Amino acid sequence: MTRREAAFAAMLIAAALALGAAPARSEGILLLYDWTSYYPPDLLARFEAEHDIDVIVDHYESNEALLEEVRLGGRYDVIVPTDYMARIMIDEGLLRELDAPDLPNFRHVKAPFDRPWFDPERRYTAPYLWGTGGFLYDSRQVEGGRLNESWGEFFRPRPELNGKVTALNYQRDLYTAAAFYLDVDPCTEDVGEAQEILDLLLEQKPKLAWYASYSSAPDPYPPAVDQVNRGEIALFQYWDGGGRRFRRDVPTAVFVIPEEGSLFSQDSYAIPRQAPNPENARTFINFMMDPKNAAEASAFTGYTNAIAGSEAFLAGSLAEDQARVITPELLERLRFVEQCPDRAIEMRERVWTRLWPRTVK
């Protein structure tokens, strides 16, 4: 099914809802709401053929946009929230019970992904991919070809890189990275520490080319590749999976997991409370926990999956280093950040507001 056909089908459903009619509940439909470029088209096509279920895909560009859509009653069957957002949705009663351990392929799930902090019994979610933040730079544009493995290279760039750096336009990612660099708790409730983070971000702001929203384009990689190859951008905040994909087209790109720490996050499947096709959702989630299918998703996205046995299908792919090359030293740099207290979130939002106006692309 093409994007145009998917959009048309989604409009039909929306129109039915607007007229007060019950939406079609065909046994052969799955409404998937997820991140951009997060599933191999061939894998979705195979699922459709094997299960006689048509997959209609729509995209969001932030966890907050996803939350708003689900709160408004968006009728999707499968969503893919990040760990902290899954916890919020569970607490607000927005998700159906999934009971993932009852699905046949859950037996492949590795520890600790079988009992994550945000859903210890996997009652509402099932694992998809995990990753970490960091920054990517083009070694051709760096004197000596190498930067230190520190957030300092990103927040306080070298003079020759001023104006050639981009930061993520995602509040949690950027604020947390600044906190790690300053050795501050990302969930701090201390006004003085929040001010330190704000001061750092304001110091960095004039040295940036723009704040980047990579999830807003159908495929964000080609424009970023062109910008680097033209020398417009030399260093940018990114995620490890995207970094692996990026290096496929720019071999001189280097991804850094900074020594001060990096945000470790998990994306999981969930079924919204108002899902029209929950059994199709369970079928899809079980399909994606098959080792071969999980490996195909990792190879396409560059992100690491949580499925034992998938390693056998990763040889030669750009995801190979996920299981074999990440050293214990690098693993120690990964940091879980659970859902922050309300006061900490309020201070983070105030800091974010103080960064306006800012150029976003």
Does the pLDDT of residue 217 top 80, yes or no? Answer: no
Give the tens place of pLDDT for each residue, 26-83: 479 999 999 988 999 999 999 999 999 999 999 998 899 999 999 999 889 999 999 9
For residue 90, count other CB atoms closer than 10 A to its CB.
17
Please give the domain boundaries of the chain with CATH numbers for all domains: 3-130+265-320 (3.40.190.10), 131-264+329-354 (3.40.190.10)
Mean pLDDT of the chain: 88
CA dist., res. 227 & res. 354, Å (int)? 28
- Model pTM? 0.84
Query: pLDDT value at position 220?
Result: 62
Does the pLDDT of residue 7 top 60, yes or no? Answer: no
Beta strand pairing call for 253-256 and 334-336 = unpaired
Please name the residues in contact with 7: beta carbons below 8 A apart, sequence gap of 6 or more: none
Give the tens place of pLDDT for each residue, 299-331: 898 899 999 999 888 876 555 565 555 677 888
CA dist., res. 284 & res. 78, Å (int)? 9
Report which of residues 316 and 186 the model is more confident about.
186
Does the pLDDT of residue 232 top 50, yes or no? Answer: yes
Q: With bands split at pLDDT 50, 70 and 90, how would you rate the model's confidence at 12?
A: very low
Whether the Cβ atoms of residue 323 and residue 314 lie closer than 8 Å to each other: yes
Query: pLDDT value at position 323?
Result: 55
